[in-house]
Amino acid sequence: MATVLVVEDDESSCELVTALLERSGHEVVSAPSAEAAEDLLDPLPALVVIDVRLPGLDGLALTRKLRADPARASVPILVMSAYARQEDRAEAFQAGCTAWLAKPIDTRVFARTLSLLLK
């Protein structure tokens, strides 16, 4: 189906997201940091799933970098965060995310969001 880049430093979260994506028939490429993810953006994936808290460059900074790059600005970005305050969500959308999900991930909500983003 589609290739999805998962940028997640927590191994269990990465495994869960990967399993959900693969179960839906998608190919998954993963990176434990924003810096490592930058090396995996060519060819451009159909979707990027980014955790907010990452070592080094955080997920929102990576989102801003992708939106600032004309060659990558159109890729849908799903931001995930354990920080579920309205301010955190607003900051993610200001950074340029397409969708936002709270952790722990509700697998039904993840599946619905995935289908909307990969139409």
Q: Which domains does the chain have, with CATH numbers?
A: 3-117 (3.40.50.2300)
User: What's residue 19's pLDDT?
Assistant: 96
Residues 73/104, Cβ–Cβ less than 8 Å: no
User: What's residue 1's pLDDT?
Assistant: 80
Q: Residue 95 is inside which H or E element, if any?
A: helix 86-95
* pLDDT tens digits in sequence order for the chain, 119 residues long: 899 999 999 999 999 999 999 999 999 999 999 999 999 999 999 999 999 999 999 999 999 999 999 999 999 999 999 887 889 899 999 999 999 999 999 999 999 999 999 98
Per DSSP (E only), the strands in 1-119 are 3-7, 27-31, 47-51, 77-81, 99-102
Q: Cα(63)–Cα(77) distance, rounded to whole angstroms?
A: 7
User: What's residue 85's pLDDT?
Assistant: 86
Question: Shortest CA distance to 104 belongs to which of 39, 8, 29?
Answer: 8
Give, to the nearest 10 degrees, the angle between helix 59-68 and helix 86-95.
30
User: What's residue 35's pLDDT?
Assistant: 96
